[in-house]
Amino acid sequence: MKHLAEQLREIGCEVLADEPMAAHTSFRIGGAADLFVTAQNEEQLAAVRRLCACNGVPLMLVGNGSNLLVSDAGIAGVVLQLESAPPTFDGTTVIAPAGLSLGKLCVAACEQGLSGLEFAYGIPGTVGGGVYMNAGAYGGELAQVIRRVGVMTVDGTVTVLSTEEMAFGYRHSVLMEQPMTVLWAQLELTFDEPAAIRARMDDYLNRRREKQPLEYPSGGSFFKRPTGYFAGALIEQCGLKGTAVGGAQVSEKHAGFVINRGGATCADVMELCHLVQRTVRDACGVELEREVQLIGR
């Protein structure tokens, strides 16, 4: 790993050894990554992939870590993050780099008088992570505005996928089955008055603040929405609001969130997750599926 770290620094990447993943996830939970690497462009990304393959070291990409729960034992190998870059505009067409935060993208689109992304304002992820899981909220999702996605395959080849090839579904894309890395997304938006766009963005953000426990670290909505139900409503119906295991707790503000009240471990969160799943299954006959991704050793 020391030799690989030297190679990665030689190609211009920032490299942190034994870096706690708690510092890179919205849950503020997770052991250390052997190497945490930041790549600035496609060339560095391809080089990192090549060097990891040549050294037999596993590689994992992350965005803002807003939908991740990292093992207490950390992550073996290299964790790679793409540096943020600004979007580019051509009329109603937007090219959004993978490392750009969704919040900054929404603000930039608003300044250009472009509507269609208001629902994403307040989602604490990156474009790459949002595309990967087809992020959405308040009836909107990225698949509605995406037209093409630039990706890099495991051998470093850059290709472009259409919306159909992305196979978007509820919190799903083809990238969950195929090991490709998002480089950028091409979006098609519509013109509107910036003031009207901003008002809708602020409305969505205010709704989040009123209903969601944003004052605590979390991974966002912890469970996917079961067909015909709402996960939070089922959990509340089962009397689980406020239930805690160690530092992890079902939010008293919104039962669909598991929060880190302080010092929570991955083990705490997963024990609480299993408790919630068992209780809801036994009481309601509904299987809750995690939306938050569990990664690491």
Cα–Cα distance measured from residue 180 to residue 127, given in angstroms and rounded to the nearest whole number: 15
- Of 128, 96, 113, 106, the C-alpha closest to 204 is 106
In degrees rounded to 5, what are phi and psi of residue 291?
-90, -35
Q: Which residue has the tokens 């299987």?
A: 287
DSSP string spanning 2-21?
Answer: HHHHHHHHHTT-EEEEEEEG
Cα–Cα distance measured from residue 130 to residue 123, given in angstroms and rounded to the nearest whole number: 9
Token digits of residue 224? 């996917």
Distance (Å) of CA 141 to CA 78, 137, 289? 30, 6, 19
Beta strands in 21-110 (DSSP E): 32-39, 59-62, 68-70, 75-82, 88-90, 93-97
Inter-residue contact 21 to 79 (CB < 8 Å): yes
Indicate the SS3 state at residue 249. strand
Question: Which residues are designated catalytic?
Answer: 171, 221, 291
Cα–Cα distance measured from residue 280 to residue 275, given in angstroms and rounded to the nearest whole number: 9
